[in-house]
Structure 1
Amino acid sequence: MIEIATICTGNICRSPLAALMLQTRLADRGVRVTSAGTRGLADHGMTPEAQRLALARGISASDAEAHRARFLTEQHLVSADLVLAMAREHRRAVAELVPARTRVAFTVREFARLASSLSDAALQGAVATAADQDAAGRLRAAVAAVAGQRGLVLPPADPTDDDVVDPYRRSWSTYETSAAQLDPAIDQVVRVVAVATTF
């Protein structure tokens, strides 16, 4: 089974929304998505605003309401095939906690930026090198191809463009901005997983 982890700060806005979006859209692909926070507000639910964003993206109310925040530990990362941080600070925390996961850790917008430089055919070529492996192994090959674009694809002029803005305790418009940054990034993640699992 493919395992994806999404990471933010409190695990009540960005990372659970990303996890629920991925879990919903990849439900038929044998993917397990978990989320946690570097300063996770243990057992807290998603904020009402984040739940509202989730519902608008086709996530069931029961799934949104069921989320309970978790504090990030090594256990959340050791078997992840892909780690999607919501901001660079979270990616750094992942690298410090489990250095072996650094090669599969990206901010979600960085992953999207790099993945968008690869055509489906290029991703399929990468996946073909792992044709004898299970879906998780094929995804790891695709993720390696995306990681290989680091240094080849120009970084954003503003480094914060690789981050999803934190909306916690901010205005509804900030929540909408955060989700608008997340949406196209999730599209790219779904595309890469789809290529890796359609082989």
Structure 2
Amino acid sequence: MPRHAESTHPSEAVFRILTVCTGNICRSPQAEQLLRARLPAALPGAEPGQIEVTSAGTMARDGDSMEQHAAAEAVRLGVADAAAHRARRLLPAQVQEADLVLGLAQEHRGAAVRAVPRVNHRAFTLIEFTRVVEALADGSAARAVEPLGADGVVGFLHRVVAAAEVRGLMPQSLRQGIDIDDPYGRSAAVYRRSADAVAEHVDRLAAALGALARG
């Protein structure tokens, strides 16, 4: 049986998040690095290695370093390992292994779903998923999520992703403006604005997940 046919079972030891952009040298590595730092700190009882975050790009060149301005923005936001990043081209196997795919724009979510159509229910943009989890946390979504319990952090995160199917019932206004601008080759101000948008939504997502976990 494929791994994801059983993905909500609490015996799963690791929850895998894949962030996706175009070149995998600006937005998706920033999201990867910030999620890796923020999510475990937000979830009570999270242990090292339980949340695995990686990234890839739809047009990436394997082995490229982060773009220098994007890396500098990541450092400004508190990332310690920006210099270690190496780009990866998005492959179906990476999508298949992910428990949650977060595109930085709708085109990236779409590319993941085209690569592996059955991941549609667990593929979102970062902004989209953040808004859905916030709605689950504040009770405005027509779905409830049990707080973190005996199934631990990994089981809890699987339940959140399953509950996020309510995105189709959310107001249209919350399903618009769900892309983060690509700063590549643009001004320093765009790099700053794009990085700040990534950080804002990672922080909001971590806060909403923490609230859901505590109940």
TM over 0.5: yes
Aligned residue runs from structure 1 range 94-173, under 5 A: 94-119=112-137, 125-128=144-147, 131-156=149-174, 159=176, 161-173=177-189
**How far is 1:99 from its partner?**
1.3
Correspondences of 1:13-162 after superposition (within 5 Å): 13-27=26-40, 29=46, 30-60=50-80, 63-119=81-137, 125-128=144-147, 131-156=149-174, 159=176, 161-162=177-178
- Residues 117 and 153 of structure 1 are in contact (CA less than 8 Å); yes or no, is this contact kept in structure 2? no
Identity of aligned residues (%): 35
Separation in structure 1 between the aligned mates of residue 214 and residue 51 of structure 2, nearest angstrom: 13
Q: Does 1:183 align with 2:199?
A: yes
SS at 2:19's partner residue?
A: strand
Residues 144/122 of structure 1: CA separation in 2 closer, same or farther (3 Å cut): farther
AA at the equivalent of 1:51: A
Amino acid at match of 1:167: P
Secondary structure in 1 matching 2:181: coil
TM-score normalised by L of structure 2: 0.80
Q: Is residue 11 of structure 1 aligned with residue 31 of structure 2? A: no
Instruction: Supply the distance in 2 between the matched residues of 1:112 and 1:9 (Cα, whole angstroms).
Output: 20
The structure, 1 or 2, with the larger RCO (C-alpha pairs under 8 Å, 6+ apart) is 2
Deviations for 1:82-104, whole angstroms, at most 9, x for unmatched residues? 11100011111011111121111
Measured in 1, the distance between the counterparts of 2:153 and 2:118 equals 20
Aligned partner letter, 2:123: A
Aligned-residue offset at 1:127? 3.2
Cα offset, 1:151, TM superposition? 2.4
Distance in 2, Cα, partners of 1:77 & 1:195: 28
Report Cα offsets for 1:36-92 as digits up to 9, x if no partner.
Answer: 0011121000011111111111111xx111100000012212232211100011111
Is 1:194 matched with 2:210?
Answer: yes
User: RMSD in angstroms over aligned alpha carbons?
Assistant: 2.5
Q: Matched residues in 2 for 1:193 and 1:32: separation? A: 16
Give TM-score, length-normalised by structure 1. Answer: 0.86
Structure 1: which amino acid aligns with 2:33?
Answer: L
Distance 1:33 1:47, change over 3 A: same
Q: Match for 2:206: what amino acid? A: V
Q: Secondary structure at the match of 2:53?
A: strand
Give the SS at the match of 1:3: strand
